[in-house]
Structure 1
Amino acid sequence: MAVRVALLFIDGVGIGRKDPAINPLAHREHLLSCFQDAPGPLLPEDGRCLVVDPTFGVAGRPQSASNQTAILTGEPAPVLLGQHVLGYPNAALRGLLAQRSIVKRLGEAGRVATFANAYPAPYLDALAIPRRPTSSPPEFTPTPAAARRMKPSAAKLAFAAGHVPLRTLEDARAGDGLTHDITGASARAYGLPAPERSPADAAEVFWRIASGADFTFFEHYLADEAGHAQDFTAAHAALDTFDAFLRAVVATRPSDTRVLVCSDHGNVEDLSTRGHTLHAVPVLYFGPPAPELESFSTVADVGRAVLRWLEAE
């Protein structure tokens, strides 16, 4: 039977102590409520939680640019560069993504990859990222100075390397795209015309998108923002919404699809600090038996597994 793979990425969630004073995950029974010093949650659908290393043995704290590149290339990006790179990919990481993006390699193997997130068209244009065509007026016009400050994330560069145009808010309004916050509330707070959805509605949209692809990717980064802000209220809101969405995705998972959930580094699990942590991160898996999971050791193994399962190594 043909296999499909879905990857849900959540930025900034590590495995910390079960200490309610610093860890918002200790207040909840979330699927990502994994702890160093206490049992984790019982996962539905025979799900598994793997503990992987985000440091790659490289000195310093793991960062988004290098570790997201590792996930989306299957390559040990911090090792190759000899350092962790924060924020957005630098020239070396952009080169690695251009050459080794799993999206590019899936396309070369005849597989279809799609990015479920939808973004404002002017934002993607300012980033020079290929997008789907739109018929509605642009949501805003960034100033030249604002456009120069915008930088593409590793995921956007990975899909650009595979020549996969990204979805816009017009697609989201048509039921063919998801805002990064799942419900659309963040986009609407900025005055953007995003649809209002419950997490369950968003899961339905996600699987409709995934029905036309071999590999479907979704990214969520509000947990990392809450961690940097040391904001319990924002952390609970982000984690609660993502958990409800994830539970709905897992409950309605097609039998031919493997679901991976991963983060790039720790942060929100320790609100005593604004910075990233050195903690291991969880990788959740839902799907048929997969012996290769036993060999997972770093976040790069997530990308390698996608390529292996879709026979694009």
Structure 2
Amino acid sequence: MTRILFLFIDGVGLGPDSPENPLSTLDLPSFRALAGRQPWTSRSETIDRPDHVFRPIDATLGLEGLPQSGTGQATLLTGENAARIHGRHFGPYPPTTVRPTVQDKSVFAQLAPLIGTDRLAFANAYPERFFQHVEARGRWTVTTLAARSAGVRLRREADVRDGIAIPADLTGRTWQRLFDADAEPISEAEAARRLVALLDDHTFVLHEYYLTDKAGHSQDPARAASVLESLDRLFAGVLEAAGPDDVLLITSDHGNIEDLGTKSHTRHPVPLVAWGAGADAFSSCRSLLDVTPTIVELLTR
């Protein structure tokens, strides 16, 4: 039975080769392996094989302006054009006009009645301060709103200690610095092992990584290098640990880190990677709109 590990990486586009594009200048062997030994740039050739897809997909959704996380992520995780529903790109949180779509039509909401809520996992863990903050303000992110609305458990610090969740920064070092958390930091290899292990009990596992977007906004090459190299180690661990029935899916909501010459998002296409038996189901994806429908189709054949 096919199982999908979906790594959603915020703020990664396919831009031109340039000194401002760390995806073209850094040594990132796992990134390159996932792109057929190519850097992740606008010049990379599309790969379309039964067990490996790498291609650009559109994040502009047919609207002017710069794509934003709120509507981009909502589109990615529902298959509905959230930017058009709202009338423009919006972020970082889903606007009120889009929240019902996220609640009712997310990939979690669509899969739950078909394969069971217990087969779905959101692998991110959050410190207690996060829950206190969002419950007071009602400003859930797209991913947490989607999971919460579909009855998929939001994981906490105790789950990190128990080895069944990972922090948003992969290792938990940020938690220790900002929240004085008790959970010991882990390596990217251990984070990868945990993500793949979740597939033993779940058919669909989602993890969100947002530090790429933060690094892009910072325009700091050292910060960008740090987060991309950390991701590269995670990718290496996942590729090593994944089983024959596992599909690794990677994509983003908009461009950012690929152009450190600007603090803004970009209109570049974003990468879509599918790796593993059955990956070619994603070869027909052309925009953020196509990802969730393909996930649902692949897991319910």
Q: 1:198 to 1:290 in 2, by over 3 A?
A: closer
* TM superposition shift of 1:178: 0.1
Question: Which structure has the highest helix share of the two?
Answer: 2
Identical residues among aligned pairs (%): 32
Is 1:13 the counterpart of 2:12? The answer is: yes
Change over 3 Å in CA distance of 1:289–1:206 after alignment to 2: closer
Say whether the 8 Å CA contact 1:182–1:199 is kept in structure 2: yes
Tell me the CA shift for residue 46 of structure 1. 5.4
The separation in 1 between residues aligned to 2:130 and 2:185, in whole angstroms, is 20
Instruction: Name the structure 1 match of 2:299.
Output: 310
Question: In the TM superposition, what whole-angstrom CA distance separates every residue of 1:5-32 from its partner, at most 9, and x where no partner exists?
Answer: 110011000001111x211112224316
Which of 85, 88, 94 in structure 1 is aligned with 2:90? Answer: 85
Pairwise CA distance, 1:82:
2.6
Structure 1 outlier segments of 4+, above 6 Å? none
**Which of residues 237, 250, 261 is equivalent to 1:248?**
237
CA contact (8 A) 2:79 2:290 kept: yes
The answer for unaligned runs of 5 or more in structure 1 is 129-146
| Partner Cα separation in structure 2 for residue 102 and residue 25 of structure 1 | 29
1:126 Cα offset (Å): 3.8
TM-score by length of 1: 0.87
Report 1:7-86 matches (<5 A). 7-19=6-18, 21-30=19-28, 31=31, 33-37=39-43, 47-86=52-91
TM-score normalised by length of structure 2: 0.90
In 2, are the aligned partners of 1:72 and 1:303 still within 8 Å (CA)?
A: yes
How many residues are aligned here?
289
Q: Comparing 194-203 with 26-35, which one deviates more in the overlay?
A: 26-35
Secondary structure in 2 matching 1:189: helix
Aligned to 1:157: 145
Secondary structure in structure 1 of the residue aligned to 2:97: helix
Check whether the contact 1:263–1:281 (CA below 8 A) recurs between aligned residues: yes
User: Which residue in 1 is equivalent to 2:126?
Assistant: 119
Which secondary structure state, in structure 2, belongs to the residue aligned with residue 238 of structure 1? helix
Question: Within the alignment, does 1:210 sit opposite 2:199 as a pair?
Answer: yes
Gaps of 5+ in 2: 33-38
Hey, what's the Cα distance between the residues in 2 that align with 1:48 and 1:61?
26
CA distance in 1, matches of 2:66, 2:224: 21
Local SS of the residue matching 1:267: coil
Q: What is the alpha-carbon root mean square deviation over aligned residues? A: 2.1
